[in-house]
Structure 1
């Protein structure tokens, strides 16, 4: 019998009243690597095995394309209208500027009230629902390193300021507050954020009595542990939920690319999309983790997932799959608890191959 996530394992998301499963079903393959019927099978299977939290975005599926964006939300909406909405915790995201996605809302020019309202109304229509449980800003509007970049570049700040001033966090929160007051959003969260941004969202919300963020959604896995460099203290002290995405590092932590560098997956299907993992120390680190997993009688996939699932600061881990078999394997890994000995050995590898995929 396949593993079932019990409600006793559900966790409160930050300071919200949302109780979510420790595993979230990610949907960014729906409409690109998965058909609508395949997506429905995954959704039904996940719900029937105790998952109640679903994450999507107006930009999906990935990689983002002019002819496919919004398709994922549309597919999800076709499924959602046949469900008991109150039993599903639904999250989606608004795309912002600073990426070349000029076909989203004729160019996501800013995270201002006009754009956020337009983005939300579009998502509500496609998802066939009256409200979003968690509405997230997909990435910061301001100049920050993200999606494989790892150094802050002040010169980019200067160049961008010549074009326009970025919408302040204060203004973003004011826009989101109106949407919350209208009942279209229950709670707000941020994604792909840095420590400064998280603290600014918190500080301004408290000072101006605006909605507090309840979550941060960032990358976290064995070869990308950047969250541990300052961010985890913020999560702990400010009682912010953490949604970890990419626990298998775009398939690298299954070990399949060690066996065949041309193995089928997002890394090979969509060249240039996985820049975060196109770094010189990724393969040596993955190899070391594979050897360690084998030593302890488990697959690299299971070890990588269990590591993220049961980390103290992870509220829920977002998993994505292209088949029911993958989904089953990913959920089964939740029952695995890594020993202190194994965790200590993971730390040795981490210190030897420090954060190779920032």
Structure 2
């Protein structure tokens, strides 16, 4: 499997990353461990988690369980070095983690220690801030997001202070690299500028939603990532399962994500099913599996380091792994761009 640099860290990651947000909810521990084994066998070396996982839904009694399941695999297999392990620090509004406290220099060492303990590792390869304290236009908030109330001085001071705390974690060997998630182009640029001016780890990556149905990153972050060596990490490259086609016609398969979150976090709209059908038509025209096509497309964008996907069951993972062999022709890419023009921002 292809490998790409993760920013300027010297770390190389597989073009696909195993997401773990269902470990401990929809995916039981034995199935999760089997997925980790199979992903490694297929050449995936990158694994993404978060202290708040699992989701669908997030519950106080399961917070941290996904990290714990990864940790029991590490303890059983004894293959810590096989994985580039990424996890995330929750922030303001996540009431089940530290009572919804924002990210501060004081929360960082506490959160890092908790993740290390659950993951059963000594060092986190990529430590990410799950979302900005100041808010975010992600998760369908883009339709009404208003940054005019932000305090620029406060935001930049927060960046400088937290980068100082992260630098102390790097110094004591608990994290190797720092990444962002659900950030904006402006925010990412400021994190880079503050790191250069005041010190602290440089943002190596940014993890935002990106798929054939959600292409906002094309218009701003793509240019920043290319020019500043920030690896883009798309999450939901299958649009929360929409691009598989399993929800077409309003279907809600038993045990699926939609059976737990009916509107898929605001992704179910009158226009989305037509956009999915158009993507499937292109896949059929070019003789491709639509799931594998969508994953390969997200992973091969020129600003992407690794595309994060999850699988509830091992069979789904096996199916997705075929994306590594997909060849994306210029004609196919042009056809997918036409779909995007005809069905822009369907949710």
| TM-score category (smaller protein) | over 0.9
What is the aligned-residue RMSD (CA, Å)?
Answer: 1.8
Indicate how the Cα distance of structure 1 residues 214 and 295 shifts in structure 2: closer, same or farther if over 3 A, else same. Answer: same
Shift of 1:152: 5.5
Q: Alpha-carbon deviations, 1:125-150, whole Å to 9, x = none?
A: 11111110000001111132221211
Which residue among 268, 293, 298 is the counterpart of 2:283? 293
* Gap runs ≥5 in structure 2: none
1:76 aligns with 2:70: yes
Structure 1 runs of 4+ with >6 Å offset:
none
Which residue among 139, 150, 154 is the counterpart of 1:147? 139
Partner of 1:317: 307
Q: Quick check: 2:18–2:48 contact (8 Å CA) kept in 1? A: yes
1:229 aligns with 2:229: no
Q: How many pairs align?
A: 341
Q: Distance in 1 between matches of 2:145 and 2:17?
A: 33
Q: Alpha-carbon deviations, 1:328-350, whole Å to 9, x = none?
A: 11111111112211211111111
* Gap runs ≥5 in structure 1: none
Q: Distance in 1 between matches of 2:26 and 2:44?
A: 21
Alignment of 1:201-280 (within 5 A): 201-259=191-249, 261-264=251-254, 265-272=256-263, 274-280=264-270
Q: Distance in 2 between matches of 1:186 and 1:170?
A: 18
Shift of 1:12: 1.2
Partner of 2:129: 137
Q: Quick check: 1:310–1:337 contact (8 Å CA) kept in 2? A: no
**SS in structure 1 at match of 2:141:** coil
Partner of 2:26: 33
Partner of 1:89: 84
**SS in structure 2 at match of 1:294:** helix
- Structure 1 range deviating more: 214-223 or 296-305: 296-305
1:50 aligns with 2:60: no
1:111 aligns with 2:103: yes
Shift of 1:201: 0.2
**SS in structure 1 at match of 2:100:** coil
Q: Distance in 2 between matches of 1:119 and 1:156?
A: 30
Q: Distance in 1 between matches of 2:29 and 2:136?
A: 35
Q: Distance in 2 between matches of 1:306 and 1:295?
A: 16
Q: Distance in 2 between matches of 1:186 and 1:89?
A: 10
Q: Distance in 1 between matches of 2:173 and 2:233?
A: 23
Shift of 1:259: 4.8
Shift of 1:193: 0.7
Q: Distance in 2 between matches of 1:104 and 1:353?
A: 37
Q: Alpha-carbon deviations, 1:68-125, whole Å to 9, x = none?
A: 110111111011123222232110000000x3x32212x1312111111111110001
**SS in structure 2 at match of 1:144:** coil
TM-score, structure 1 length as denominator? 0.91
Q: Distance in 2 between matches of 1:195 and 1:155?
A: 13
Q: Quick check: 1:143–1:157 contact (8 Å CA) kept in 2? A: no
